[in-house]
Structure 1
Amino acid sequence: MDESVKAYLTSLIPDRQTIFHEMEQYAKDQHVPIMELTGIEVMLHNMKIQQPKRILEIGTAIGYSALRMAKALPDCQIVTVEIDESKVEQARFYIRRAGVEERITIIHGNALDVVESVRTLGSFDAIFIDAAKGQYKKFFELYSDLLAPRGCVYVDNVLFRGLVADPASNENKRLAKIAEKLDDFNRWLMNHKDFETVIIPVGDGLAVSRKI
């Protein structure tokens, strides 16, 4: 998206609670990736329409998205998985400050290894994937069977700074490889027989897949 258009859309977003401004600044200062404002606003808008009661998040980071979802959907319960212990502690700090400990459950571990632990917590109306980009297909395959009928999977960063359009053009081999994997994931997802998917060019690219 054109940077001036992105800046314009960002300027239109209503103000947020102080804790969210603090988290956004912390993420910027500490180089912690969190969802772009325009992207999360679109996702939250879709979730408000969907009204999920239980959400699974793959990739807690500092708890920003989990808290934004908890604020937007006051009747939902959230289970969130994070591999990095320091990020888990930071997320718990913010969740306690927000006073929603009873609504957000953090599972510390590798999302590729904790499927059975997550399964004991029941099915989910929505799944949000925002973790290791090269593992998106595995995450989707592992957890989509925990999705309730007509549930939705939301996936961030599927356009990956626009690099997915031509991965080979990037001179950074690591980024090119991630972009290539995301391109493969996008094509696989768009043709998945059990889901209807749309990719929205907002933020860093948001895929929304509805279980058929």
Structure 2
Amino acid sequence: MNEDLEEYLRTLLPQTKKWVKEIEQSARKDHIPIMDPVSMQFVTQLIQLQKPEAILEIGTAIGYSALRMAESYRHTKVTTIERDVDRYYQAKENVKRLNKERQIEIIYGDALDILPSLPHESYEMIFIDAAKGQYKHFFELSHSLLKNNGIILSDNVLFRGYVMNPENINHSRYNKMVKKLQEYNQFISGHPNYSTSIIPIGDGVAISIKM
């Protein structure tokens, strides 16, 4: 997204609570990627509209998005998966500190191993925000877990604009990831069981509705 436009949209965001600012500051300090505030606001509004009773998140990090999603609709249950042990414990601590343990369940492990064991058609919303190179696998394993008319959200699908303009990549380690994201965007856009739109806010958010 254009930096001026993104900055303008940030000025229009509603006032956030103290704990939100604290976690955002902690993430910046420790260089932990969390969802862009503009994109996060968009997701919270989707939750307020859809009112899902169960959300599955792939990629907890320090619990920021899980907590924001849980706050958006107090009747929802968020199940979130994290494979990094340090971030898992940070997320557990943040969830405990905010008394959200009944609403948020954090599972430690690799989502590729855990997803096949979860109950089918249990979630109205699935949020993918983990290893970018595995997005297609995450999506394929999530398909049977999602109820009809449910939504799969995928964050970072435009990845710093490199997905549209790979010639601008200035780190060779991004080449494979960007190619995987390009393939993923094609995959979800052409999937016969989903209607997908890619919203150019933050780092790009894809919305795929199961038909």
Task: Give your verdict on TM over 0.5.
Answer: yes
Alpha-carbon distance between aligned partners in 1 of 2:171 and 2:100, rounded to the nearest angstrom: 41
1:168: how far off? 4.2
1:15: how far off? 1.2
1:5 match:
5
Counterpart residue identity of residue 38, structure 1:
V
Alpha-carbon distance between aligned partners in 1 of 2:115 and 2:14, rounded to the nearest angstrom: 36
Deviations 1:165-196 (CA, angstroms, capped at 9, x unpaired): 13244242211221111011001110000000
Counterpart residue identity of residue 125, structure 1:
E
Q: Which runs of 5+ in 2 are unaligned?
A: none
TM-score, normalised with respect to structure 2 = 0.97
1:98 match:
98
1:51: how far off? 1.1
Q: Is the 8 A contact 2:116 2:141 kept in 1?
A: no
Alpha-carbon distance between aligned partners in 2 of 1:19 and 1:152, rounded to the nearest angstrom: 27
Report whether the alignment pairs 1:49 with 2:73: no
Q: Is the 8 A contact 1:168 1:176 kept in 2?
A: no
Alpha-carbon distance between aligned partners in 2 of 1:184 and 1:178, rounded to the nearest angstrom: 10
Q: Is the 8 A contact 1:125 1:147 kept in 2?
A: yes
- Greater alpha carbon shift after TM alignment, 139-148 vs 169-178: 169-178
SS in 2 for 1:165: coil
Q: Which runs of 5+ in 1 are unaligned?
A: none
2:174 match:
175
Deviations 1:97-146 (CA, angstroms, capped at 9, x unpaired): 111101111110000111244338x6100000000000000000011210
* Aligned residue pairs, count: 211
Alpha-carbon distance between aligned partners in 2 of 1:114 and 1:172, rounded to the nearest angstrom: 32
Sequence identity percentage: 43
Counterpart residue identity of residue 46, structure 2:
N
SS in 1 for 2:20: helix
